[in-house]
A = this chain, B = another copy of it.
Amino acid sequence: MGNLSNRDTDRHIDRMAVPEVVINRLPQYVRVLKSLISDEIQVVNSQLLGKKLQITPTQIRKDLSYFGRFGKQGRGYSVNNLLEELKQILGLNYEWNVVLVGVGRLGRAILSYPGFNPDGFHLIAAIDNNPDLIGQEFNGLLVSSIDDLSSLVMKHNISIAIVSVPTTQTQQVIDRVIECGIESILNYAPTTPQVPTHVKITNIDPVISLQSMTYHLVN
């Protein structure tokens, strides 16, 4: 045990923290690798990968080097192997259960979006505070009260929440979601909620995106 623990320590010496910006690029690599597989391409080098993603080859190699040595000099990367490694790193070999909080117009559109399941993200519970909605089904999913969130999270091993509630309620809803032990939140409300450092939140806000585009149109 002493030995094992030493080996483990050695392996971690000077192991750099991986910059967030690197982690955010990995899913893009996964997507391109998947498309290469459909194209029946078995080996890829950093140059081609870079071309597909408009990223320099050096950056791709540097990004990958945070996690290991996956390529062969003079040759490149096995598409299959690199894909599996990245899925492993990102935790994409698991199935992830997701709760939707807010079953209004936008929430229902999210429920009916078919793109989550094929990538292993399963909307398995739905929450709303509207008594008229609670007990109803949308896309085969029963709407529950937020009072049931904690037990739903435990029962279904939920680790991700997608939040689509009105702006005025977003902060308090997210506070409750975090109290239930959720540490990953995808927020569709047009606001920047405050969350503790251990919680990862990503905001999806098309209007904000449009508003920085218009800058380039007038300047």
Contacts and interface: CB of A to CB of B under 8 A. Distances in A.
Contacts of A191: 31
A206 B115 contact: yes
Contact of A202 (B26, B113, B209): B209
B209 A213 contact: no
Given A31-B191, A112-B105, A190-B115, A202 B213 contact: yes
Contacts of A216: 23, 183-184, 200
A199 to B, nearest CB: 9
Contact of A209 (B53, B114, B204): B204
Interface of A: 23-24, 26-28, 30-31, 52-54, 89-92, 94, 96, 98, 105-106, 109-110, 112-116, 119, 121, 159-160, 162, 183-184, 186, 190-192, 194, 200, 202, 204, 206-219
Given A204-B206, A207-B121, A217-B184, A26 B212 contact: yes
